[in-house]
Amino acid sequence: MRPVIQFVRSPARLPAPPAEGRVVLVDLAFASGADYDSITKPFIHALGSRLAAWIDHHDHAAWIDHRSDPRFVLVEKLRAPACPELITKELVERIGPVEHVLAHADFDGCVAAAKWLRGGVAPYPESDEDARAIDAPGHAFVCSELGRRLNLAMDQKHVESPSAYPAFLVEIAAALVDGAVFPPELDRRIGALAEQQTRRLAEIEPLANLAKRPHPRVLALRFDHVISNADKKTLLRRLEDDALVAVIEEPKGIVLATFRDDLLDLSLLPGLKGGRGFAWGEARLEPLLPHLARLIEEAEESSPPARRRP
């Protein structure tokens, strides 16, 4: 029997460990801050020897605690822009059979889960590159039409029906395991969702023109209401085309992103959670701006070249 796939929206919301069977986690970060001690560590300890492998590329300070454990395949995002490329036939053979696959609920995690179930074989030729293009935009990776279509459909499903989103990913993963063979009814739904999301993107992208530049290298959009995560992603990427750092500020929080995570580490900003290229928290831009300006100045003094395609 195939292992059971379970998709997880956030590292801070891990499910209860499966009661039986060996478990592999793919594309799931360790939780940020104090959540690591209260969520990630207890999950690892609860599984014990049934934790077969944890494969991830979201940098975390606690990785150092697991470097000597061969079950943990933890590679910096600068070296592994997406998770599927870490899943090889040799790795799957070394880890052995598992009964459960837990994966991050996004395109990257979906492809990684399918590739694991295929014994380390990509579900279609461009899937590793598609995962890089989608998970690490702005670095010259190229997405295929199939990858673009699936990602659009996933984003739309997440917006319109969050409760049904994980089950939708399970359907797509199952089709990817079969070599990207999509049953007609599923293919129809994917197409309809992709078309809806395409229209949605056309509607919201003009909002990026309202962004202000509080610093020469920063573009910021402020909203008086909370916007969806999919809209945030779209607008941040649009702003990142024209600025080193993109910012979206909402009534109770802020999100910052940069394509140049090889240059900047946004997690160093005070009061924020996240990683090098993406950080968030209950903060305001105005008091954070001096810290961000100093971070940019210090980073650009060394100014390494932009990350190149491997």
Task: Look up residue 166 and give its two tokens.
Answer: 């994980």
Res 309 pLDDT > 70: no
Instruction: Judge contact between 218 and 269, C-beta under 8 A.
Output: no
175-214 pLDDT per residue, tens: 999 999 999 999 999 999 999 999 999 999 899 999 999 9
Q: Where are the alpha helices (DSSP H) in 161-276?
A: 165-177, 184-204, 229-240
What per-residue confidence (pLDDT) applies to 307?
47
DSSP letters of 23-79? EEEES-PPPPTTHIIIIIHHHHHHHGGGEEEEEE-S--GGGGGGTT-TTEEE--TTT
pLDDT tens digits, one per residue of 224-256: 999 888 889 889 999 999 999 999 999 989 999
Grouping H, G, I as helix, E, B as strand and the rest as coil, residue 139 is: coil
Mean pLDDT of the chain: 93
Nearest to 154 by CA among 110, 118, 199, 122: 110
CB 273 within 8 A of CB 280: yes
Q: Reply yes or no on whether the pLDDT at 310 is more than 80.
A: no
Give CA–CA dist 9/253, Å, rounded: 19
pTM higher than 0.85: yes
- Strands 278-281 and 72-74, how do they pair? unpaired
Q: Can you say how many angstroms the Cα of residue 182 is from the centroid of all Cα atoms in its chain?
A: 24
| 26 has pLDDT over 90 | yes
